[in-house]
Amino acid sequence: MTGNKSRSPQALPYGYTLHGQYQIGDVLGQGGFGITYMARDVSSNRMVAVKELFPTSQVQRGPDKVTVLPTSQESKQSFEKIKASFSKETMMLVQLQDVRDVVRLYHAFLENGTSYYVMEYLDGTTLGKKLQKDGPMGWQELSGIVKPIMVTLGRLHAAGVIHRDVSPDNIFLLKNGQRKLIDFGNVRSYSQDGAMTAYVKGNFAPWEQFSSVIQQGPYTDVYSLCVTIYYSLSGKLPPKATERYTTDSLIPLRKLRPGLPEQVYKALDHGMAVKAANRTQKMDQLYYALFGEVMPGGGKPNTASYVQQGGGVSIGGGAKPQGPASGRVLRCQSGQFAGRAWNLPLEQYFTLGRNPECHVAYPPTTKGVSRVQLRLYAKKDGRVLACDECSTYGTICVSPNGKSQLQHGKWYDVTGCLLAFGGQEQYRIG
């Protein structure tokens, strides 16, 4: 907390104690809608980051240099709407706290006529600032940055939401080597019917984000991440998606940055397709296309299905497993699909949950079952492994040795065991 030499007059005074607990330090960032400060939590003596809602076009500081006041009656009405939106951002962060590598949220409160939330302090810089300082990156270095970000985005998508603001400015590089996705102010659920509000961040936004009537989904984040990779490797931004839609003047990456692995060029071509229907649909598909590896927490996709296929997956029916059978069978002993059985594919992920793309897909209103409840993986040696995907109510495994609850994100050998979740859902692995 060194004190900014050129501190904005709009910022809270240096050293001011907010909420009787957070001693305000340097300004970490300021935009059109808020100010983020470094602060010290005096109760625990740890460094935190505090985000203050401060829409500069609507409010000003009062005479005490602390209180936030609307500039007019009209601004007061707009400010109240912005407060409601800020509260939604806070609640979205609360809901995403179980997602690995999402910034930790500690506290949210109202004070000084505005809203605040307190989160973990991240020591480092953004990918955007690093690129401004050092220029385009090599593929090996960039791979180490985007891999964990893709895993985080995959987990967000499995939770039914999309980020909608993926860019170099929102990828944070911590000094300890961690990479985190930040700024969740535009996260929205994509699982509900209909489109969502338009939100555009220049050249990083796909075509569907320029409209409030076109459906958005995981493929929306795929486009933005691919533009981020394209820019990080070449130092050039592609034309805006709206310009590309009529006459696509995108310069292929292979011309701007020759010598990269061929799969990188192909993966970005698919991932940056202007029309969503022609684009790579899911993050684990993009991961496999870029690296030839199964994404942690994701399945090995059918390489022929990078883009949307005709038709859809029926609720309750689920997707058909791809690839050779393992000889292992999943049987539903009680619950909605009692009497049904599925041959587990060899060395591919098999999922159960409310997500329509799961192999065993529950109706969206099913209580006690998460969007992705469980993943199974049949190995060549005959074993079947199971991983609970951070479900809300957990998964129970019953074996000859007794009953236990699967820990989130950890793989277990469940060969011959009974798996139970929800109200009365029970499956036997045989």
pLDDT digits (tens, 9 = 90+) for 136-192: 999 999 999 999 999 999 988 887 889 999 999 999 999 999 999 988 777 887 755
Task: Give residue 313's pLDDT.
Answer: 26
- More confident site: 398 or 372: 398
What is the average per-residue pLDDT within 376-404? 88
Task: Give residue 185's pLDDT.
Answer: 74
pTM of the model as a whole: 0.65
pLDDT digits (tens, 9 = 90+) for 49-100: 999 999 999 999 999 999 999 999 999 999 998 888 788 777 777 777 777 6
What is the average per-residue pLDDT within 226-244? 95
Both tokens assigned to 28:
């970490």
| Beta partners for residue 352, in sequence order | 360, 374
What residues contact residue 244 under an 8 Å CB cut-off, 6+ apart?
A: 207, 238, 250, 274
**pLDDT of 302 strictly over 70:** no
What is the average per-residue pLDDT within 337-350? 87
Domains delineated in the chain: 17-120 (3.30.200.20), 124-291 (1.10.510.10), 325-429 (2.60.200.20)
Task: Give residue 259's pLDDT.
Answer: 95
Cα 249–Cα 255–Cα 257 angle in degrees, nearest 5: 120
**pLDDT of 323 strictly over 80:** no
pLDDT digits (tens, 9 = 90+) for 365-379: 888 898 889 989 898
User: Please, what is the average pLDDT of the chain?
Assistant: 85
- More confident site: 272 or 370: 272
pLDDT bucket at 4, cuts 50 / 70 / 90 = low
Task: Give residue 142's pLDDT.
Answer: 97
**pLDDT of 306 strictly over 80:** no
Judge contact between 387 and 397, C-beta under 8 A.
no
Task: Give residue 1's pLDDT.
Answer: 61
Task: Give residue 200's pLDDT.
Answer: 57
Task: Give residue 191's pLDDT.
Answer: 56
Task: Give residue 46's pLDDT.
Answer: 93
What is the average per-residue pLDDT within 279-306? 75
What is the average per-residue pLDDT within 24-48? 92
Task: Give residue 407's pLDDT.
Answer: 86
Task: Give residue 322's pLDDT.
Answer: 55
